[in-house]
Amino acid sequence: MKPVIWCGDCAKLIDQTLLPTQEEWITCRTPDEMAEAIFTMKVRGAPAIGISAAYGIALGAINSKATSLSELQSELAKAHERLRSTRPTAVNLFWALQEMRKIWEANNADIAELKQRLTERACAIAEEDITMCKTMGAHGAELVPEHARILTHCNAGALATGDYGTALGVIRAAWEQGKLDMVWVDETRPFLQGARLTAWELMQDGIPCKLICDNMAGFVMKQGLIDMAVVGADRITANGHVANKIGTYSVATLCKAHGIPFYVAAPYSTIDPTLHDGKDIVIEERHPDELTTLAGKRIAPAGVPVYNPAFDVTPPELISAIITERGIFRPPYDQTLVKAFS
Ligand code: MRU
């Protein structure tokens, strides 16, 4: 399923904050509405954020009343800044916005043509993402053993991408090839992307899965019930440090301790060649309420100080391979990834 649908003069998004209990679609008609949807995580997941931001720019163009090209360009620059400020960690947001900016800065079209080009590019970013996920899935499935029991963390599925998913793309491809026995779904505190979204997606597809709390993963590994782990990524440095949903680092560390392969699946555009150290990745911190409340009910004492980083960084030595649409990269990543870039 596609989490974001382009409708010509608006974009429709499935509200991921309401899943799985309510399936409600919201309509965005302006860059501001799209920025708000990204910030409040009605749409989330690195590639889906990038796609939505591109649509946000297209909406700014399509619905603009500007009468000159320069007026339209300055409106788009404002929309660009607004969308950029929504979430800091996923590089896909900045990549997609840059792709859109290249088009309006080329300055060689009239207003109508520019509107059309921006819309076409946004739709192409969404379509390219689906192709990349399917290719990534096919590459990743090669790493999956027969009768695999795979652990995943957060949601790197159709809901987080154009469709099909990155980590869930690998899982879907392995399932289609008859190699998969079942999926262990980490709950993913505090936003519960695993419990709410990954479990929902897998059940929709009839893929056998079992939900566990994040703190159960080590015990399940110790029992010999997990053959591999695969997760998505929000940003990967040139030497293979991977920012992904908080808790990913713990999963990778547990995998290392139990001799279980730990894989990352992400489109090549998630690699940020400008960064060489995990410490340089900006980690988003979200509202304390995500920890102090559960389903709208307070579960911690009022006023308790809270630290709520939304992502962590897994170092390259814990990662068995990085799966992209361009193939599978193995350590040492400072050589293999950099070589692929050059
Ligand atoms: O905060 P979220 O839900 O946007 O975080 C999502 C993740 O961390 C995903 O694993 C990552 O974006 C990859 S999605 C294909």
Distance 134 CA to ligand 1 centre (A): 18
**Residues 320 and 284 both lie in one domain:** yes
What's the pTM value of the predicted model, to 2 decimals?
Answer: 0.97
Query: Of the listed 227, 234, 272, 312, which one is catalytic?
Result: 234
- Between CA 322 and CA 327 the distance in angstroms is 9
Q: Are residues 334 and 197 in the same domain?
A: yes
Number of domains into which the chain is organized? 2
- Which domain-ending residue is among 89, 106, 134? 134
Q: Are residues 233 and 308 in the same domain?
A: yes
114 and 147 co-located in one domain:
no
Regarding whether 208 and 113 lie in a shared domain, the answer is no
Query: 154: Cβ below 6 Å to ligand 1?
Result: yes
Residue 54 identity: A
- 285 and 171 in a common domain: yes
Measured by CA distance, the residue closest to atom 5 of ligand 1 is 45
Helix (H) or strand (E) holding 232: none
Whether 101 and 240 map to the same domain: the answer is no
User: How far from chain centre, in Å, is Cα 5?
Assistant: 17
158 and 121 in a common domain = no
Last residue of a domain, one of 85, 104, 134: 134
User: Which CATH number characterizes residue 127's domain?
Assistant: 1.20.120.420
Indicate whether 189 and 320 sit together in one domain. yes
Q: How far is the CA of 303 from the centre of ligand 1 (A)?
A: 29
Tell me which residue has tokens 């992209």: 324
87 and 120 part of one domain: yes
Each residue's pLDDT, cut to its tens digit, for the chain (342 residues) gives 899 999 999 999 999 999 999 999 999 999 999 999 999 999 999 999 999 999 999 999 999 999 999 999 999 999 999 999 999 999 999 999 999 999 999 977 799 999 999 999 999 999 999 999 999 999 999 999 999 999 999 999 999 999 999 999 999 999 999 999 999 999 999 999 999 999 999 999 999 999 999 999 999 999 999 999 999 999 999 999 999 999 999 999 999 999 999 999 999 889 998 999 999 999 999 999 999 999 889 999 999 999 999 999 999 999 999 999 999 999 999 999 877 766
Which CATH number characterizes residue 294's domain? 3.40.50.10470
In this structure, the answer to whether residues 191 and 111 fall within a common structural domain is no
Backbone angles phi, psi at 117, to 5 degrees: -65, -40
Sort strands 180-186 and 209-212 into parallel, antiparallel or unpaired.
Answer: parallel
How many CB atoms are located within 10 Å of the residue 277 CB? 11
* Range(s) of the domain holding residue 189: 137-341
Ligand 1: distance of its center to the CA of 175 in Å?
A: 22
Burial, 108: exposed, middle or buried (Cβ in 10 Å; 0-12, 13-18, 19+)?
A: exposed
The answer to whether residue 227 is catalytic is no
Instruction: Examine the domain organization and report whether 112 and 192 are in the same domain.
Output: no
Q: Final residue of a domain: which of 99, 134, 169?
A: 134
Ligand 1 within 6 A of CB of 240? no
